[in-house]
Structure 1
Amino acid sequence: MLFIFAVLLLLLSLWAVFYFQLSRSAGAIALIIVSIVCAFISPWSLILGIPLILISLVVMIDPLRMSFISKPAYKALANAMPSISPTEREALDSGTSWWEKELFMGAPNWETFNSYPYPKLSLEEQAFLDNEVETLCSMLDEWEIHEQKALPDHVWQY
């Protein structure tokens, strides 16, 4: 009975670490402490406790995490990434692309993106929006378009 209680306590603590989104080190330390406490409750709980302690140590220690988790995951994902077509490669290497180049390279600098000024419309573009587009929008009747499932002829001719 104590073994079941200890295993449930371990599983509940594992769930709590993920549910409350504890940091890597806080979650690992919590699981190690709970595993040790459960070992005092029932030594058989070490069947689940020892793997949890080992995984927690791997997650906590940077060189171990890099060699056992990060590098294999990076290798698996690097092979899964689609290759860049020649056209995409030319666009990225051309130097004329804007912030998309950083985005496609997989390492966007968000501060660079935020530092770009907002684009402004030219006087001609603003006049087009204020006149032609406004006139076109005033000619539209959403209910009529919905009923006929088409734009009226006078709108098309405008």
Structure 2
Amino acid sequence: MKGAWLAAALALPLVGLAAGVALQETGAKGASEWRIPVAGYDPRDPLRGRYITFRYVWTVSGPAHLCRNAGCDLCLEEGGTHVRAVAKGDSCPARVDPVTSRIALTYAPEFGTDGQPLAAMSRIFVSEASAPRLEKQLQAGPMVMRARLTRDGRLINDALEPGRRE
């Protein structure tokens, strides 16, 4: 009897892990793929680990003030180079929820266009071996983020890739 309880106790974490993976994969099924321009961001944080932090290079329109306190959604447009700020829950063909996408929205005069000071920062986990190379490429630019946008508005960063020079 003790053996059955022990086996069940040891199997429970594996079942939970498998269920979590299955849930993530189900949510990502049918996601649309986007290539979004990104730029480097140096947080001067020596404890950032294997994450590369970057800024989405979006032309911003719409009332960016809605995004204070995570009160907005973003609509991807024009192949991922343009984003429109909309009220939380408004419908749009390619809606991004910044909260579930783990996008940090901040305001600074040097970001955005047409008086829309919106900066969107995110990060991606990379292998220790590729991190220095990707960090240098990101600082040299241009780079794009290959990402998937799920139906529920979650933007999943998949890979950093070299972008086209103009």
TM-score, normalised with respect to structure 1: 0.19
TM-score, normalised with respect to structure 2: 0.18
Q: Which entry has the higher C-alpha Rg, 1 or 2?
A: 1
Give the number of the structure with larger relative contact order, counting CA–CA contacts within 8 Å between residues 6 or more apart: 2
Looking at secondary structure, tell me which structure has more helix per residue. Answer: 1
Looking at secondary structure, tell me which structure has more strand per residue. Answer: 2
